[in-house]
Each structure stands twice: as structure tokens, then as C-alpha cells.
Amino acid sequence: MTSTWLVYTCLAIGLSGALVAGVFQSFSDFVMRALVAAAPAAGVDVMQMINRTVFRSVFLIMMLGLAPVLLGLGAYAYFTLSGPAQIWIISGAVIYVISVFLVTMIGNVPMNNRLDPMAAGETETDRYWKTYGKVWTRLNHVRTVGSAATAICFLAATTMPA
């Protein structure tokens, strides 16, 4: 890749994707396991607070903000680049939009929205919490792998001819 701005952009996106992957990996590895292992009322209460707090986080800006940036850069690569860098950039963009952005919007967010108004300690909430913990975590695994793969694609693009 010869254009300096493109190298730095891909580097920044790669590092951002890795940071997003790290947050998702933490949830998949130990946060959700701890919440599910706790008493259902405690796990529900903490997850509701996490879901409400994330709206005021740098993480959310980065995670959601990457999608339009990647779509734009993917379009730029499609129309102006050729060779390996083009393939890595387009691949990274497609992977992220599908496995992180769409999985979040179609899977995790609706589950969070359903959990939010539920009262901790009620039978219906406890029942949903068991399903929530399993399904939400599986979806989060997809987001973890997807954001890590995106990071790899964009970091690889920095070393490829455009």
C-alpha cells in the first residue's frame, strides 16, 4: 500500500477492531459467565445496568462508528484500489458489518431491550435470564471473532500493495 493516509487509516481501524474484540472477548470469557453463575436477580440487575451504561461509553461510539467508516473505506477500495490491499479491506469491512454490526442490531440489542424492563427476581425474568445468558453469549462469540478478524484484515492491508 503506497498511500500514507490509507496505511494510517487501516492501522487505526485495525487497532480499533482489536479493542472492540477485546471488550467482546472479556464478556464472552468471564463477565457473562460470572453474571450467569450469580443469583438470577443479581445477574439481571447488573446486566441491565451494563446495558444502560454502555449508551454513554466510548466503546459504543467506536463499535457503531466503525460500521459506516468501514462501508465507506470498503467502497473506496472497491472503486479505486486493486490487488491484495483491496481484498483485505473489502473482506474486513464485510466481516465487521455482518458479524459485529448486524449481529448486534438483530441479536444482542433486541435481547437487551427485552431484558431491560423486566423486574429482577420474578419467575418470568429468571426463566428468560437462563436463555438470555446462553444465546446472548453465543452471539457475543460471533462478534468477538468477527471484530478480531476485521482487525487482522485491516492490519494485513497495511502491509499489502494497493
- Among positive and negative, which fits the CA dihedral 69, 73, 74, 76? positive
> Is the separation of the CB atoms in 93 and 78 below 8 Å?
no
The reply to whether 111 falls in a domain is: yes
pLDDT digits (tens, 9 = 90+) for 16-30: 999 999 999 999 999
The reply to whether 162 falls in a domain is: no
Helices (H), the chain: 4-26, 32-37, 40-53, 58-80, 84-96, 103, 109-115, 123-157
pLDDT of residue 160: 87
- Residue 161 pLDDT class (50, 70, 90 cuts): confident
* pLDDT reading at 72 higher than 90: yes
* pLDDT reading at 162 higher than 80: no
* pLDDT reading at 52 higher than 80: yes
Nearest alpha-carbon partner for 104 in 30, 34, 23: 23
The reply to whether 8 falls in a domain is: yes
The reply to whether 113 falls in a domain is: yes
pLDDT of residue 129: 97
Range of the domain at 148: 4-157
**Alpha-carbon gap, residue 21 to 65, rounded angstroms:** 14
pLDDT digits (tens, 9 = 90+) for 79-90: 999 999 999 999
Secondary structure element (H or E) that encloses residue 117, with its range: none
pLDDT of residue 1: 58
Please tell me the total count of domains within the chain. Answer: 1
The reply to whether 52 falls in a domain is: yes
* pLDDT reading at 54 higher than 90: yes
The reply to whether 22 falls in a domain is: yes
